[in-house]
Amino acid sequence: MSRLKRRCLFLGLAIVLVMAIGTVGFILIEHYPPFDAFYMTLITITTVGYSEIHALHQAGRIFNSILIVIGVTTLFFAIGALAQTVIELELGEFFGRRRVKRMIDKLEKHYIVCGFGRVGRSAAGELQRAGVPLVVVDRNPERVEQAIRAGLLAALGDPTQDQLLIDLGVARAKGLVAALATDADNLFLILSAKGLNSKLKVASRSNEEQSEQKLRRAGADTVFAPYRHAGYHLALSLLRPHVVQFLDVASQHVGLDVGLEQVRVAPGSELVGKSLRQVQLRRDLGVIVLAIRRADGQMLFNPPADALLGAGDFLIAMGEHEHLRDLESLLAEVR
C-alpha cells in the first residue's frame, strides 16, 4: 500500500471514530434519535454554525464542547496532513524524476530491461548479480516501484516510444532486453531501438513460435521462448535428471560457487597463438574450457588439447567465479 493510501486510510478512520463517538454521545446523553445525533455531530465538527437541533442540557453542552475541540482539531489536522502528503508526493516525484534522469545520463555501456514482469525481473536480477549497469523501464507504476525497492534504477513510461529510449541512453547502451507482454510490442520496440542504435545487442522474449523469425528479422540477436524452453526443461528433468542438475549448477549457481563465463582472448594477450595444452588452464586455474567460439563465428565444442587460442576468440569456460576472474585477467591485453 502506498504512503498516500495509508495516510488517507488513517485519517479517514480518525474522522469516522470522532463521528461515531459524537453520535453515540448525543444518543446517550441527550437521547437524540440516531440521525439527529449524527447530524448534530457533523455540523459541530465542521463548524457550520447551525443552531442546536434540540435544546441541550448542561451535560450535553459539556460533551458538545469537548466534541468541538476534538472534532475540529481532528478535521483540520486531517485536511492539513492530506495537503502536506499530496505536496510531498508531487515534489518527491518531480525531484525523483530529475535524480533518475541525472543517473541515467551518466550511464555508459549499460543494459536496458524493457518490461518488469516475470521474465524481465529474472533478466534484471541476473544482470544485477553480474554487477553491470542497467536501467529498468515499465508502463506499470507498481512494477517500477517494485524495481526501485529491489535496488534497481527504474523509469516509468512506454519503451516503444523513441523519445523514452533516447532518454534512457539507448545510443550509449550495450544491450537491451525486450520483455514486454506481447510479441507485437517487442517487435515494435526492437525496430525502434535498432533504428536508434544499430550496434545494440538485443535479446527478446517470444510468446508464439511463429513470432521468433519476425523478431530476428527485426534485429533481435537472441529470441527466447519461455514456454517452449520450460516444456523442454520439464521433459529433460524426467528423462535426464542429472543433466538438468548439472545445468542448474552451472547456470544458476545452485549450492556451489560455480558458473559459466565467456572470456575474450585480447589481441595483445600473451596466450595468443598458444594451445590449450601449453596454457594448462585446468591445472593452474581449475577452469574447464567447454568450447571456443572463434573470431569468425565458428563454435568448437570440447576443444582438443592442441587447439590454438586466437585473437578475438571467446573461451566458454566453467569454474569457480574467482578462478574465472583470474582467467579473464590472464587473457587480457598486456599493458
Average pLDDT of the segment spanning 302-328: 87
Average pLDDT of the segment spanning 280-307: 87
Give 186 or 3, the one with higher predicted confidence. Answer: 186
Q: Which three cell numbers stand for residue 256?
A: 556451489
The proportion of the chain whose per-residue pLDDT surpasses 70, expressed as a percent, equals: 89
Burial 243-263 (b: 16+ CB within 10 A, else e): ebeebebeeeeeeeebbbbeb
How does residue 254 score in pLDDT terms, banded at 50, 70 and 90?
very low
Contact at 8 Å (CB) between 264 and 284?
Answer: no
Q: In the chain, how long is the greatest CA-to-CA distance?
A: 107
pLDDT tens per residue, range 82-119? 777 666 565 445 445 666 678 888 888 999 999 999 88
Contact at 8 Å (CB) between 130 and 194?
Answer: no
- 168 phi/psi in degrees, rounded to 5: -80, 0
**Mean pLDDT, all residues of the chain:** 83
148: number of Cβ within 10 Å: 15
Average pLDDT of the segment spanning 236-261: 69
Alpha helices in 31-154 (DSSP H): 34-45, 58-105, 118-130, 141-149
Q: Is residue 172 pLDDT above 60, yes or no?
A: yes
7: number of Cβ within 10 Å: 18
Average pLDDT of the segment spanning 32-48: 84
The residues that bridge with 202 in the sheet, in sequence order, are: 176
Contact at 8 Å (CB) between 152 and 128?
Answer: yes
Average pLDDT of the segment spanning 276-290: 86
Give 84 or 322, the one with higher predicted confidence. Answer: 322
How does residue 227 score in pLDDT terms, banded at 50, 70 and 90?
confident
What letter does residue 211 receive in the DSSP assignment? G
- What is the predicted pLDDT for the residue at 95? 45
Domains annotated for the chain, with CATH where assigned, are 3-102 (1.10.287.70), 107-229 (3.40.50.720), 241-331 (3.30.70.1450)
- What is the predicted pLDDT for the residue at 114? 94
Q: Is residue 295 pLDDT above 70, yes or no?
A: yes
Average pLDDT of the segment spanning 195-217: 89
- What is the predicted pLDDT for the residue at 255? 47
What is the C-alpha to C-alpha distance for residues 324 and 41, in angstroms, rounded to an integer?
74
Q: How far is CA 142 from each of CA 56, 82, 334, rounded to the nearest angstrom?
A: 52, 22, 48
Q: Where are the beta strands (DSSP E) in the chain?
A: 111-114, 134-138, 154-156, 175-178, 201-205, 222-224, 258-264, 288-293, 299-301, 314-320
